[in-house]
Structure 1
Amino acid sequence: MTKPPLTVRELIRQQYATLTQSERKFANSLLENYPAAGLASITIVASNADVSTPTVARMVQKLGFKGYPQFHQALLKELEAKVSGPTQRRENWASEAPEGHLLNRFAQAVTDNLGQTFSNVDSEQFDAAVRQLANTDGRLYVVGGRITRALADYAFTHFQAIRQRVTHMTSSSATWPHYVLDMEAGDTLLMFDVRRYETNLQRLAELAAERGVKVVLITDQWASPVAGVAEFAFNCWVEIPSAWDSNISTMMLLEAMIAATQEESWDKTKDRYDRLDELFDMTRLFRKFS
């Protein structure tokens, strides 16, 4: 499986330091409403960003495109990838599948995904997100969607052992208003959302952000719309030779966050671990071999 090309968003991040002030103005306008802000004609997108059409033309060339039509087509392909279902995903990889056993292709795809994911994590943003996750002055809420609820459950199990005041929100959106009712400024919402992006999760994030809750989003390489209101957003590469996307890189990033959060407040966490082990012994949850 060939390595997926960088998204326009990633290209902008790579080249941002080389852009002029007016080009950055267009880039910022595009990122604020991505990718929709770039799907119109060059004259319209330039007008919407309050820049000239030559500015737009120069910027897209700096990103590596021959011209605006190629840039526009790249955004359309990203949009198509965002909304594609399992059948279309399988057709996409099957049409380009090289010879060789599926196990080898799968392993290579996962390896590429991990490399892309971790090479695109900003360490300062990661550290800031970890400090937010470790902050017990506010409550930590954890939620996932139809597929990612398993990640949310895994995250809750670990974070609840690491720190106090952790709430696992159910996957039923009908109950979410009850959780939002108690959300306060300074709380944290850890959210998982991957394509095809769930509208209920976006609305939940918006309601939480309006209340001063810091949203930490783990999403895929195309980025959930929740990124627009998230304080911290992390992109994970997920494409594999399958009708379904992979959560391996997503899980790896989550485990890195769990490990870092544990170390952020180790003294308190160690005490919780010790007390939790005592409770396990009292309830005889685990088998003893001595």
Structure 2
Amino acid sequence: MDEKPLVRDLVKAHSRQFTPAERRVAPFFQGESLEVALQSITKLAEAAEVSTPTIVRFARKLGFDGFHDMQNAIRAELADRIKKPLAKLEAAEMAGQQDHILNRFAQQAVSNINRTLSHLDLAAFDDVTEELADTSKAVYLLGGRITRANAQNFFNHLQIIRPGVTLMDSSPNVWPQTLLDFTADTVLVLFDIRRYEKDLERLASLAVGQGARIILFTDQWGSPIEKQASASFRAMVEAPSAWDSSLALNLIVEAMIAQIQKRHASRSTERIKTLEEMLGETPIFRDLGKTEDDVS
């Protein structure tokens, strides 16, 4: 199934083709706030200080039949983005009452993965993999309420492969003292899917102010943090459930982990060997799993 590009992505893709007047229209379709774009063509023309025919030409240049067709596409995007969990659940149940939930989940997961891979920028993937493997850079990770587990998973693997990896505390109250150490050699990996979290957006802004680079993992609509990110990876998250799925996100993460370890096999192997020795030699770890009778 072909994924329709977002209007703001179409604007970005066609930016070089715009006339000077059309370039004044573009900002109204690139931000998170689309109130003006959803008003009448006259109000949009006034706000952009262009003529109404310019708005029509702008819409057609993006591949729409006209202004109203473009507005309908934006409304559909917004409806998808703000869809309530209960509405998602009811829609999923109506669509597959006869099928077992496990089968429907598997079908959706395969679809999500295929659609994610079809849009993935492989060059960006390779660049980010190299950056995260560079031990001269400090790496920090954090996720939102739902994606905290994704960040934790990435951290657990990265810290074994390389030094200088930190999982940030989830409380915004302790972020300032961490931000003090951010420099141009800092990489902040963030996970943010709908409902996008304002605290994470603010953290990204502060981190960039300190010179850090942002690597973002988000959903198909794109978190507002994309404006701050040096690289962004969108994954399909729809699922026949009240919650979104993070399987496609984890696929990207685990592929990155494999690539980092492969490119720096000798170093990561030595770290894993040292870790295993510590687990075997340290009594507190050696005694884990023993019963009380075994220890006494």
What TM-score, normalized by structure 2, do the two folds share?
0.83
The question of 1:7 aligning with 2:13 is answered no
What is the Cα deviation at residue 106 of structure 1?
A: 2.0
Per the alignment, residue 199 of structure 1 pairs with 198
Q: In structure 2, how many angstroms separate the alpha carbons of the residues matched to 1:222 and 1:46?
A: 26
Q: Does 1:22 align with 2:19?
A: yes
Stretch deviating more after TM superposition (132-141 or 46-55) = 46-55
Q: CA contact under 8 A between 1:12 and 1:27: conserved in structure 2?
A: no
1:148-196 CA distances to partner (integer Å, 9 max, x unpaired)? 1111111110010111111111222222122112211220001101100
State the alpha-carbon separation in 1 of the partners of residues 210 and 188 from structure 2. 11
- Structure 2: distance between partners of 1:161 and 1:192: 20
Residue ranges of structure 2 left out of the alignment (5+ in a row) = 290-296
The one-letter amino acid of 2:60's match is Q
- Distance in 2 separating the partners of 1:189 and 1:102: 36
Q: Tell me the SS of whatever aligns to 1:112.
A: helix
Question: CA separation in 2, counterparts of 1:130 and 1:272?
Answer: 19
| Aligned partner letter, 2:103 | N
Range with bigger deviation, 4-13 or 255-264: 4-13
Shift in alpha-carbon separation, 1:22–1:40, aligned structure 2, 3 A: farther
Uncovered stretches (5+) of structure 1, i.e. residues with no partner: none
| Contact 1:3–1:112, Cα closer than 8 Å, also in 2 | no
Larger radius of gyration: 2
Q: Name 2:215's counterpart in structure 1.
A: 216
SS at match of 2:180: helix
Instruction: Provide Cα deviations, 1:117-138, integer angstroms capped at 9, x if missing partner.
Output: 1111111111111122122222
Q: Which has the higher contact order (CA 8 A, sep 6+)?
A: 1
Identity %: 38
The residue aligned with 2:235 is: 236
Identify which range, 105-114 or 275-284, moves more after superposition.
275-284
Judge conservation of contact 1:22–1:55 (CA < 8 Å) in 2.
Answer: no
Number of residue pairs the alignment of both structures matches: 284
- Give, in whole Å, the separation in 2 of the partners of 1:193 and 1:47: 35
Q: Is the 8 A contact 2:155 2:165 kept in 1?
A: yes
Aligned-partner SS, 1:182: coil
- For residue 113 of structure 1, what is the aligned residue in structure 2? 112
TM-score by length of 1: 0.85
Q: Indicate the larger mover: 34-43 or 213-222.
A: 34-43
Cα pair distance change 1:64/1:32, threshold 3 Å: closer
2:213 is aligned with what amino acid?
A: K
Q: Distance in 1 between matches of 2:25 and 2:154?
A: 34
> Alpha-carbon deviation of 1:74?
1.9
- Equivalent residues in 2 for 1:1-290, closer than 5 Å: 5-11=4-10, 16=14, 20-22=17-19, 25=23, 29=27, 32-34=30-32, 36=34, 38-43=37-42, 45=44, 53-97=52-96, 99-283=98-282, 284=286
TM-fit CA distance, 1:224: 0.7
Give 1:88 shift. Answer: 2.9
Q: Deviations over 1:197-229 (max 9, x none)?
A: 111011001100111100000000011111110
- Higher mean alpha-carbon deviation, 88-97 vs 200-209, is at 88-97
Q: Which stretch shifts more, 130-139 or 228-237?
A: 130-139
Give the whole-Å Cα distance in 2 for the aligned partners of 1:69 and 1:140. 45
Quickly say closer, same or farther: Cα 1:253–1:271, change in 2 above 3 A: same
* Secondary structure at the counterpart of residue 243 of structure 1: coil
Match of 2:292 in 1: none
